[in-house]
């Protein structure tokens, strides 16, 4: 059965392996909403809303009710509350069988899980939308096929690393005239231990699948601990994974879901269990740093907060730049780790295709583009989605007091979900000296136009904030090859992915699986990259045996 | 020039890349003593003995005199004492140029360094011998060509990881009918920061080169901090590296030597510098754990102490087994991290080709083989070498009080070096209950014959001591495929490399570059393996840029 799954998905795996090498465009799963059955998805979603989520796993100890949707819809889903002891024990018992399955069989199982998740992308879209506040199309694409692509990419990386050397070898060393010393050697891939995925509240699947599938493919059973307000997308994922595992003849406890009440402190308890050897985390800097400091028995991969900059030096498409930035700032109300925060603009203005623009004209250009983009509330909410929680709302509402407001936030009424909290971005002008303000992350629909003395000072700010506070993305607009080259060198120093002169249909927020490396691990925003070799190679070890060749 | 070095060594690199994949026998450097010019080496060595070691690097602040040789020879070499501030500053200044050289040019420089080190293997042999106490042939082979092979292996792994994806790509995503969105992308390999190599006192080059060359190849300048009693082998290495770097047009401060007085506390000061991002360490568990706990800004790779077991269940070559173990225990007086310590033998004895042997007969068989191997002092010292320091001597001398002595240690007079301290191994019988004794590492010419209730109890002891205290090697002797398979599973659980039924010319202590993985990272003896993908992948990051394709 398991070899059969590998064979069934072999071509997909081979394409993924080619794609991570060429870095050219490739995707395994359609991002078109038309590819998925929304009626069936809606029916499935409705069935979860007020029922007990079907997941038969060990150690259930009462139930926990889901948090309400950011769209104001009541989600009454009840999840089994888990006993840490039972989960760790069950995962430990599943470990040897999963290890012994070997890289090929595990890759086959992972790809079958991903394919079935893909088939349920409609359900996942509604689950992501109603736990994160994402607009529907984003929830479908980022929560479904794009997340599945990221998971597949991690499987491909893991598979490549596990199979980069022979699993058996005959070693024959010349030993004097006509003689050899011969040994037969076997190399086993051995998982590090148990994996723990700590999910986030904004992109539970997109940020979660790389770690989940990297750990699974390398042989580590994974305990999935969703954010308490964002359980359903990962609960569905675990359900699918357990179903495939059981069908393929493995212990379904290779993947389990850990849901608790806040007083259970599941994340910290699980993260410091000696059996847990790999942890994947996306969330706040404080929680990420806590894990790095305290989960010392484990290899910890974190994505935390950052301060993303855009160096605006000059442009040959002023309107294109303004439109592009307007969408980048508005998309999902800036609740992306990739959203720009600090737009660094010389206070003397910039050269553009529409002649010189003063700082104020640049500010008004961007503000105007946002106004136009979000002018129609019905269309606007399909870009902004809803504010995910009170914390983000507070960040958004306090921003206006931090400087000179260039564009005020507006509250929009969502035509379908009247209780949803919707805010358009606020743009605030700051000066280069206000580093205390713009040097911190303001997660949400908040952007600062920082007036600098020159592009050189913009570089200094970009470097300093990136190195001290981290950054996941950076962008530059310039018509000068020298400035672009200097920005590229600054980005290498900061260790941040750079987008240059985006004026069309690609946005700095977007990161494409198989081609874009998401985060780098080289600055404080993240200690890992999704996905590179370092993200997978530490999840397993090689244990060899050797014996003399007998005639 | 630098592309020229890459081209000059390209074939060697390609062979190394093929070897780490096939894991078959391959070596780049001859291990035959005849391949090296001993007269020239002796003259060069003598020139260092009482002079100032020639190394022109920044921040010299007085000199430090070398420790005496374990062979009793006075080494009056004086080294420049280094200022940490000056070394870190110089390495930092060298970083950008070395990063920008790129993977190919760096590989070329590394291979040229290795080739020149190879040409100086005779000098390195004397340097290793007179700092570690190794016998001459071992010092030549392990300190010269085998260490160079390990360095080359690390370069190959690093090169493979850095070049596993395209350095540039055109990304073209279909966007509706006849349309594409196109981006040109560039992927830069960016080093983590500065590397620090903390050398050990027994295998300064063999254990040091993997980390040194892995860091260098991935773009990290490296500060080399030798053990205070074992400076010369790494000083020679740094000298050669700086010479090649300068000739190739790079800042020679890409590699520097850090020598200090013990009150300078160079290791701890350097290890906690924020600029130092990669640390390679071989040495005591206490120091390794200190680094893991305190050098939190860095990726730390450690090889520490372990307790190596041999499960003796049965054999079809009793005399071969005894001879093989005798050499394993005697080689370099057990001062190898790969030397077995605990020989686990059922107290009812074992089946052999010479009929059943009682526990006492097994003990006497091994003791007799050691006696025979080391019967002639003149030949014996070429196997045992000298005791490296007082600490090891104390371990050796206190062992007899720990249990029932099966074979007493003998002091041998070294025919050439009358002041050398030479000891043959002591064999001590313990019972399975004496875990407090055999559960600790006794580094030196000490082995325990542990009487167990059965091979199953031997497995339990093997698992428990390995998991709790770590192990670098394990071995088993058995004529039963079931027992061999069970040992292999136990070795996977413990995460230790296993050698089966070695009765001929291969010894459990030996680990061959390109084929054997030395240590695993999967148990407390080491958090890393020399060399696998995990050993290199965390030393660099990938920083990308992308821009729209312009017509």
Per-residue pLDDT tens digits for A412-437: 999 999 999 999 999 999 999 999 99
CB atoms near residue B38 (< 10 Å): 16
A1-5, A43-47, B309-313, B350-354 — which is least confidently predicted? A1-5
pLDDT class for A551, splitting at 50, 70, 90? low
Task: Assess contact for A212 and A280: CB atoms under 8 A.
Answer: yes
pLDDT at A2 over 70: no
How far A484 CA lies from chain B's nearest CA (Å)? 10
pTM: 0.97
Question: Which DSSP state fits A251?
Answer: -
Report whether B227 contacts B208 (CB < 8 A).
no
pLDDT at residue A174, as a whole number? 93
Assign A1 a pLDDT band (cuts: 50, 70, 90). Answer: low
Q: Which residues of A531-547 are buried (b: 16+ CB within 10 A; e: fewer)?
A: bbbbbbbbbbbbbbbbb
| HSE-up of residue B116 (Cα within 13 Å, Cβ side) | 17
Counting every residue, how long is chain B?
551
Burial class (CB in 10 A: 0-12, 13-18, 19+), A293: exposed
Nearest CA in chain B to A180: B505
Cα separation, A478 vs A486, in Å, equals: 11
Contact across the interface for A24 and B484, Cβ inside 8 Å:
no
Say if strands B497-500 and B404-407 run parallel, antiparallel, or are unpaired.
unpaired
Say whether B422 sits in a helix, a strand or coil: strand
Interval B7-55: pLDDT, tens: 999 999 999 999 999 999 999 999 999 999 999 999 999 999 889 999 9
Q: Which residues contact B512 (CB under 8 A, 6 or more apart)?
A: A171, A173, B25, B27
Q: What number of other Cβ atoms are within 10 A of residue A62's Cβ?
A: 12
Q: Which residues of A touch B488 (CB under 8 A)?
A: 186, 545
In this structure, what DSSP letter does residue A163 have?
T
Tokens 């196997």 found at: B383
The conformational region for residue A336 under phi > 0 = left, psi -120 to 50 = alpha, else beta, is: beta
d(CA A535, CA A498) in angstroms, rounded, equals 20
Question: CB–CB of B172 and A25 under 8 A?
Answer: yes
What secondary structure letter does DSSP report for A35?
Answer: G
CA distance B195 to chain A (A): 15
Alpha-helical (H) ranges within B199-315 are 209-217, 232-247, 266-271, 285-294
- Cα separation values, A423 from A72, A130, A394, B68, Å: 15, 17, 11, 74
The crossing angle, in degrees rounded to 10, of helices A121-132 and A145-162 is: 110
- State residue A50's pLDDT score: 84
Question: Tens of pLDDT along A354-409?
Answer: 999 999 999 999 999 999 999 999 999 999 999 999 999 999 999 999 999 999 99
| Chain B residue numbers touching A475 (CB-CB < 8 A) | none
Which residues partner with B452 through β-bridges?
B346
Say if residues A277 and A123 touch (Cβ distance below 8 Å). Answer: no
Picking from B165, B292, B537, the nearest residue to A21 by CB comes out as B165
Report which of B300, B253, B307 is spatially closest to residue B87, judged by C-alpha positions: B253
Confidence of residue A338 (pLDDT cuts 50, 70, 90): very high
Cβ contact B492–A99 (<8 Å): yes
Local structure of B168: helix, strand or coil: strand
Contact A541 B520 (CB under 8 A): yes
Cross-strand partners of A342? A309, A448
Sequence-distant (6+) residues with CB within 8 A of B341 are B307, B308, B309, B334, B438, B441, B442, B446, B447, B448
Sequence-distant (≥ 6) Cβ neighbours of residue B100 within 8 angstroms: none
Q: Which residues touch B334 (CB under 8 Å, ≥6 apart)?
A: B341, B425, B443, B444, B445, B446, B447
Count of alpha carbons within 13 Å of A473, Cβ hemisphere only? Answer: 24
Pairwise CA distance, residues A314 & A350, whole Å: 5
Q: Which residues of A251-261 are buried (b: 16+ CB within 10 A; e: fewer)?
A: bbbbbbbbbbe
Set of chain B residues whose Cβ sits within 8 Å of the Cβ of A545: 488, 491, 497-500
> Among the listed ranges A111-120, A279-288, B169-178, B539-548, which one has the minimum average pLDDT value?
B169-178
Residue A310, phi then psi, degrees to nearest 5: -125, 120
Residue B268: other Cβ atoms inside 10 A: 14
For residue A489, give the nearest of B304, B99, B225, B411 by alpha carbon. B99
CB contact under 8 A, B546 and A499: yes
Q: Which of B543, B548, B549, B551 to mutate to test the interface with A (most CBs of A within 10 A)?
A: B543
pLDDT tens per residue, range A505-532: 999 999 999 999 999 999 999 999 999 9
pLDDT tens, residue by residue, A446-502 = 999 999 999 999 999 999 999 999 999 999 999 999 999 999 999 999 999 999 999
Per-residue pLDDT of chain B (551 residues; tens, 9 = 90+): 568 999 999 999 999 999 999 999 999 999 999 999 999 999 999 999 889 999 989 988 899 999 999 999 888 899 999 899 999 999 999 999 999 999 999 999 999 999 999 999 999 999 999 999 999 999 999 999 999 999 999 999 999 999 999 999 999 999 888 889 999 999 999 999 999 999 999 999 999 999 999 999 999 999 999 999 999 999 999 999 999 999 999 999 999 999 988 888 999 999 999 999 999 999 999 999 999 999 999 999 999 999 999 999 999 999 999 999 999 999 999 999 999 999 999 999 999 999 999 999 999 999 999 999 999 999 999 999 999 999 999 999 999 999 999 999 999 999 999 999 999 999 999 999 999 999 999 999 999 999 999 999 999 999 999 999 999 999 999 999 999 999 999 999 999 999 999 999 999 999 999 999 999 999 999 999 999 999 999 999 999 999 999 86
Q: Which long-range contacts (CB under 8 A, 24 or more apart) does A324-328 make?
A: A324/A502, A324/A503, A324/A504, A324/A507, A325/A366, A325/A369, A326/A366, A326/A369, A326/A370, A326/A372, A326/A373, A327/A373, A327/A383, A327/A507, A328/A507, A328/A508, A328/A509
CA–CA distance, A298 with A279 (Å, rounded to integer): 7
- Write the DSSP assignment of A47-101 as a string of letters: HHHTSB-----TTEEEEEEPPPPTTS-----EEEEE-HHHHHHHHHHHHHHHHHH
Structure tokens at B53: 């070691």
Q: At what angle do helices B38-49 and B121-132 cross, to 10 degrees?
A: 50
DSSP B376: S
What is the per-residue pLDDT across A141-156, written as a single tens digit (0 to 9) for each? 999 999 999 999 999 9
CA distance B474 to chain A (A): 9
Rounded distance, CA A478 to CA A353, Å? Answer: 11
Tell which of B493, B518, B532 to mutate to test the A interface (max A CBs under 10 Å). B532
Do A497 and B545 lie within an 8 Å CB cutoff? yes
Contact B506 A181 (CB under 8 A): yes
- pLDDT value, residue B551: 64
Q: Tell me the Ramachandran region of residue B257: left when phi exceeds 0, alpha when psi lies from -120 to 50, beta otherwise.
A: beta
User: What ipTM score was computed for the predicted complex, to two decimals?
Assistant: 0.97
> CA triplet B417, B418, B420: central angle to 5 degrees?
70
- Do the Cβ atoms of B504 and A160 come within 8 Å? no
The pLDDT value recorded for residue A49 is 87
């Amino acid at each position: 059965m398991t070899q059969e799954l590998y064979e069934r998905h072999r071509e997909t795996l081979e394409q993924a392996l080619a794609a991570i090498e060429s870095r050219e465009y490739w995707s395994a799963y359609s991002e078109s909403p038309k590819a998925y059955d929304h009626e069936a998805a809606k029916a499935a979603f409705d069935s979860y809303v007020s029922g007990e989520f079907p997941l038969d796993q060990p150690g259930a100890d009462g139930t926990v009710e889901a948090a309400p949707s950011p769209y104001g819809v009541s989600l009454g889903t009840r999840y089994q509350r888990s006993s840490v002891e039972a989960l760790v024990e069950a995962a430990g018992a599943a470990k040897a069988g999963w290890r012994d399955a070997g890289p090929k069989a595990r890759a086959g199982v992972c790809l079958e899980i991903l394919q079935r998740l893909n088939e349920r992308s409609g359900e996942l879209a509604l689950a992501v939308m109603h736990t994160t506040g994402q607009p529907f199309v984003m929830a479908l694409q980022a929560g479904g096929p794009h997340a599945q692509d990221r998971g597949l990419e991690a499987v491909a990386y893991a598979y490549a690393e596990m199979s980069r050397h022979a699993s058996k070898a005959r070693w024959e060393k010349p030993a004097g005239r006509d003689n050899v010393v011969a040994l037969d050697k076997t190399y086993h891939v051995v998982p590090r231990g148990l994996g723990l995925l700590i999910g986030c509240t904004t992109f539970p699947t997109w940020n979660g699948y790389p770690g989940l599938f990297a750990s699974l493919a390398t042989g580590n059973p994974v305990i999935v601990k969703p954010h308490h307000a964002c359980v359903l997308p990962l609960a569905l994922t675990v359900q699918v994974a357990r179903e495939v595992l059981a069908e393929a003849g493995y212990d379904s406890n290779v993947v389990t879901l850990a849901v608790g009440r806040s007083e259970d402190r599941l994340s910290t308890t699980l993260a410091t269990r000696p059996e847990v050897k790999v942890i994947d985390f996306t969330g706040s800097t404080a929680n990420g740093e806590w894990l790095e400091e305290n989960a010392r028995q484990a290899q910890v991969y974190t994505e935390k907060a950052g301060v993303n900059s855009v160096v605006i030096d000059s442009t040959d498409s002023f309107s294109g730049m303004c439109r592009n930035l307007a969408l980048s700032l508005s998309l999902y109300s800036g609740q992306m780790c990739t959203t720009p925060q600090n737009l660094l603009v010389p206070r003397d203005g910039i050269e553009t295709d529409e002649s010189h623009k003063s700082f104020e004209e640049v500010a008004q250009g961007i503000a105007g583009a946002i106004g136009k983009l979000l002018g129609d509330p019905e269309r606007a909410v399909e870009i902004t989605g809803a504010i995910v929680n009170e914390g983000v709302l507070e960040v958004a509402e306090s921003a206006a007091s931090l400087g000179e407001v260039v564009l005020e936030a507006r509250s929009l009424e969502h035509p379908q979900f009247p209780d949803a909290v919707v805010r358009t971005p606020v743009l605030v002008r700051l000066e280069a000296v206000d580093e205390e303000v713009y040097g911190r992350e303001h997660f949400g629909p908040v952007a600062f136009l920082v007036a600098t003395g020159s592009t050189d000072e913009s570089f200094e700010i970009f470097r300093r904030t990136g190195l001290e506070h981290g950054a996941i993305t950076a962008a530059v607009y310039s018509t000068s090859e020298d400035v672009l080259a200097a920005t590229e060198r600054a980005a290498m120093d900061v260790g941040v992915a750079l987008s240059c002169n985006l004026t069309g249909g690609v946005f700095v927020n977007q990161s494409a699986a198989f081609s874009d490396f998401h985060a780098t691990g080289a600055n404080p925003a993240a200690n890992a990259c999704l996905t590179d070799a370092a993200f997978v190679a530490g999840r397993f070890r090689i244990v060899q045996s050797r014996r003399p060749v007998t005639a």
